[in-house]
Amino acid sequence: MPRLGSIHLYPIKSTAGMELPRAFVSEEGLLGDRRYMVVQPDGTFVTARTHPQLQLLRATPQDGGLHLAYPGHAILNLYEKDFSLEPQATAVWSDRFTALRTHPQADAWFSQVLGEPVRLLWVGARSARYRAATGTRVSMADGYPVLLIGQASLDDLNLRSHALHQMRQFRTNLVATGTQPFEEDSWKRIRIGEVEFAVLKPCSRCIMTTVEPGTDRFNVLREPLSTLARYRRGDDGEVYFGQNLVALNEGWVEAGSPIEVLETVEPVVYADTAPKKRVLVCVAREPVARDFETFWLEAADGQPLPSYLPGQHLPVSVDVEGQRHQRRYTLSSSPDQLARYSMSVKRQSDGRVSSWLHQALQVGSTLLAEPPAGDFHLGAGRTLLLLSAGSGVTPMLSMARTLALRGELGGVHLMHLCRSEADLPAAAELAAMQQQGLQLTWILSQPGPHWRGLHGRLSDAHLAQVQGLLAREVFLCGPEGFMADAADRLRGLGVPATHIQQERFGGTARGVDRPHQALQLRIGTHSIAGNNQATILDQAHKHGVALPWSCRAGVCGTCKQTLLSGEVDQAEVPAITEAERAQGKVLTCCAVPLSDVVLGPL
């Protein structure tokens, strides 16, 4: 049965939340929720969409006031009895209403925190804001008094996203447990404790959800919006996650209480192009060499694993200290034995993920994985040179094991470079393959005194020992410097470039670092001095030029404008099509000017 897992309150709009064991609910929402809001001197509301540092600010209700804390700033205690209560016109989106000034000391404190003149407003004991859409008075919340999200829905998102998300990113009031993913989409009327709620509509999401928990930084991959846009995007272009509620009566709700579903509705069906990652469980570990470990993995759901080609990699996600990391590790097993995968990982001295795997991925532990992929894999050729160094041996192990199972090792030469005898990978297994025809060469850079094999760095002389080198297809994998040198030597010895395949893994996309350049931005009749660092929307906002916006993440399309001249760096986002780009359309929330630009009339 669904239950209320937790209750969350946000005393000041856009600031950090707090968890409560129980809460009183009225038509305006949870008692004490979003009763305060930061505004510019003219009453324009300020949120973490533009000032993400607000989410580091903690406001705790105390008798008749607030206790305020922000890193690096003195504590401030405010008391309602000291408020000036001077009326000030303000608005939340299109809702215009009158709120109350608090205290000059609060205004000064918030101005210091944000680095610009702002004020703290109080909605008062009774809100003056009335929303026709809900037929109720509302506090400073964006549009609806109460937000509910199912924990299973967040879990589902975390199976798809490239980042690990926490419920606090979505600023929900009520968390439902004991449900299926997005079961709350089908609720129309529910009862929790003493309160009956009407479920009015799904909640559209914005850039605020991309503020990384515990920081004042936006996620560079625009997660979770990037993933939500691929499976929770409505026909209107908005991205939805959670349900907006209105209380039909006043009363108390308590964490742990059952959620009684009184009435349901047919849920909206969204196009789903965001596949879930598979949960893989570690079923065994075995050493490959010094600081080199093989992890044997099976599907946690017991279903068959996707097949792959020898040499392909496994994209994995591991969660370390609340942060998700993506890596691609080559499968060292053979697809001819598909009951389980093996992933061989060499511990790197500065490798956070490789070190975590060696320490934490024990038998019974899990990680997330996408289907195997990659263009570096065994083809039809069987006259091969497998040339590797360090952890670059892993695709070679997969190829060698596969060819051994098929009895096709006769034309294969494996040459591997490593430091010492202790670093020889799968030495006994590869030695046994020599009985099946594998030609095996080890080259050590720091051998022990009893080593009788080749040593030193890779040389032309080493490569010249490979029989029929020019006729071989070469698979090359290892550190970048090694591969560049080896490829040069192979070409110098006459191996055609088309015969050399190299494995390279690109990094995760990050923000662009470009030299600062002063630019001119003309927006309608406004001309402002800008730069090539910030988005057009942010620069316009800074200079007092009002441009339309909503999500600030390239999802909704509200900020779409026409670029008459100039060049911009337009992020790949859902709300703009290739055809629109060709027509000169830009999304100002995520378009950075690269030259002087002119936008069409507003």
Q: Where in the chain is the domain with CATH 3.10.20.30?
A: 518-599
SS3 content of the chain, % helix, strand, coil (to 5): 20, 35, 45
32/198 Cα distance (integer angstroms): 21
Question: Residue 531's closest CA among 520, 543, 546, 542?
Answer: 520
Q: What is the pLDDT of residues 107-136, one digit of tens each?
A: 999 999 999 999 999 999 999 999 988 889
CATH of range 384-502; options 3.40.50.80, 3.10.20.30, 3.40.50.620, 1.10.357.10: 3.40.50.80
3-state secondary structure of 360: helix
Query: Which residue in this structure is represented by tokens 């799904």?
Result: 202
What kind of fold does domain 278-369 have according to CATH?
Elongation Factor Tu (Ef-tu); domain 3 (2.40.30)
Comparing 579 with 59, which gets the higher pLDDT?
A: 59
Residue 505: pLDDT over 70: no
Question: Across the strands, what pairs with 455?
Answer: 444
Please write the tens of the pLDDT for every residue from 194-217.
Answer: 999 999 999 999 999 999 999 999
Name the token pair of 460.
Answer: 């032309």
Write out the H or E segment, with its range, that includes residue 152. helix 151-158
Q: Are 265 and 187 in contact (CB under 8 A)?
A: yes
Query: Distance between CA atoms of 133 and 119, rounded to whole angstroms?
Result: 28
In angstroms, the CA 162 to CA 140 distance is: 32
Q: How many residues belong to the chain?
A: 602
For 518-599, CATH number out of 3.40.1390.10, 3.40.50.300, 3.40.190.10, 3.10.20.30 equals 3.10.20.30
Question: How far are the Cα atoms of 138, 162, 202, 223, 328 from residue 205, in angstroms, in the given order?
Answer: 19, 18, 10, 11, 31
Residue 225 phi, psi dihedral angles, 5° rounding? -60, -35
Beta-ladder partners of 303:
none
Cis peptide before 224 (omega within 30 of 0): yes
- The whole-angstrom separation of Cα 388 and Cα 485 is 12
Identity of the amino acid at 120: L
Residues 6 or more apart in contact with residue 332 via CB below 8 angstroms: 288, 294, 342, 343, 344, 394, 395, 397, 398, 401
| Res 504: pLDDT | 66
Using the predicted structure, report yes or no on whether residue 550 has a pLDDT greater than 50: yes
| The pLDDT of residue 509 is above 80 | no
d(CA 91, CA 44): 7
- Provide the H-helix boundaries in 83-150: 104-114
Query: Looking up tokens 């099976």, which residue turns up?
Result: 298
Residues of the chain with CATH 2.40.30.10: 278-369
Q: Which amino acid is at 76?
A: L
- What is the C-alpha to C-alpha distance for residues 103 and 105, in angstroms, rounded to an integer? 5
Count the Cβ atoms, other than its own, within 10 Å of residue 32: 18
CB-based contact 316:295 (threshold 8 Å)? no
pLDDT of residue 15: 98
Amino acid residing at 46: V
Distance CA(468)–CA(444), nearest Å, equals: 23
pLDDT value for 508: 44
pLDDT(493) > 70: yes
The CATH code of domain 3-264 reads: 2.40.33.20
Spatial neighbors of 138 by CB under 8 A, at least 6 apart, are 28, 29, 95, 127, 129, 130, 131, 144, 145
| pLDDT score recorded for residue 513 | 66
C-alpha 7/C-alpha 92 separation (Å) is: 24
Q: Mind listing the pLDDT tens digit for each residue in 379-419?
A: 999 999 999 999 999 999 999 999 999 999 999 999 999 99
Where does CATH 3.40.50.80 sit in the chain? 384-502
Cα separation of 440 and 415, whole Å?
A: 6
Question: What is the pLDDT confidence band of residue 512, given thresholds at 50, 70 and 90?
Answer: low
Beta bridge partners of 314: 329
For CATH 2.40.33.20, the residue range(s) in the chain are 3-264
User: Tokens 């209480």 label which residue?
Assistant: 257
Contact 508, 560 (CB under 8 A): no
Q: Which pLDDT value is given to residue 507?
A: 40
Q: What is the mean pLDDT of the chain?
A: 95
* CA contacts within 13 A on the Cβ side of 121: 28
